[in-house]
Amino acid sequence: MERPKVVLITGATTGIGRETALHLARLGYDVLATGRKAAALDELRREADGLRLDTFVLDVNDAASIAAAGVEVDRRTEGRGLDALVNNAGFGLMGPMELVTEEDLRAQFETNVFGLVRVTQRFAPAMRRRGEGCVVNVSSVVGLLTVPLQGVYCATKHAVEALTDAMRMELGPFGVRVVLVEPGSIRTQFATTIKATVDRYRAMESPYGPAFDRYQRQLDQVDRTSPGPEVVARTIAKVLRKRRPRARYLSPGRYRVAIWALRLLPTRWFDRTLKGAMGLTRKALADPAGRRR
């Protein structure tokens, strides 16, 4: 009987990570779902009753937590290591670069970039020594272009794109597949986290109030019209099945044409398109009396 493939997923308590953990377990993978909140992990384990899914706490910002997770994986796999690693842990904040705090800036990079590298450095060597394995890094469509009011989050995902490209070329000769999955607008709790920072920055005295209001409406529309995280979970499952996956997978795939078209625009046209969409025009930012702030 073939041994089930062992997959570790970070950030598995909500959204894409949670749905991916359940989906892969239903497909017969031996899933190790991790996250920071023990109570949420317990709830996930109860939902997965009867499936090959177990959970343990892993904080990607804590070196000791990563080391403990490594010991646990080695114990469970008898030193063989993971068949696949899904780096999904991350979160989003928004705010204009003029106002974003250094604390927010550092927190975004700590989790979205440094955490991903720490976890990969712990688990990729076993794959390299074995000559097989797969690392899936969950990026975003904003790793391919920059959206105003999301500059810091976009910067972290641009970093993930570059780091993954390097990993793919470095680990590829040893038989380790490294793949980017780039979700677009997905209905998850991610939007709720973003809304909290929208409210915080809206409370400040700044000229960006009208843009915040428009952004809030866009987030509400995401909740109403966007697909759920199961779309991305299916994409990740497809990647894991392929012996020679592509370097990048947009999810949903319908974004491919739009991203391609936007990236072909001259910079001035691209800026105009994005500024208009985000309410960052002189007219939109004017106060009710029509004066400039």
Q: What is the side-by-side order of every strand in the sheet holding 30-35? A: 53-57, 30-35, 6-9, 84-87, 133-138, 176-183, 248-251
Check 29, 153, 215, 249 and give the catalytic one.
Answer: 153
Q: Whole-angstrom Cα distance, residue 122 to residue 70?
A: 7
The alpha carbon of residue 23 and the mean position of all alpha carbons in its chain are separated, in whole angstroms, by 17
Dihedral sign, Cα of residue 186, residue 192, residue 193, residue 197 = positive
The alpha carbon of residue 162 and the mean position of all alpha carbons in its chain are separated, in whole angstroms, by 14
For residues 152-179, one letter each, b for 16 or more C-beta atoms within 10 angstroms of the residue's C-beta and e for the rest, the string is: bbbbbbbbbbebbeebbeebeeeebbbb
Q: Whole-angstrom Cα distance, residue 166 to residue 135?
A: 12
Of the candidates 88, 71, 108, 80, the residue with the CA atom closest to the CA atom of residue 18: 88
Catalytic-residue membership of 29: no
Catalytic residues: 153
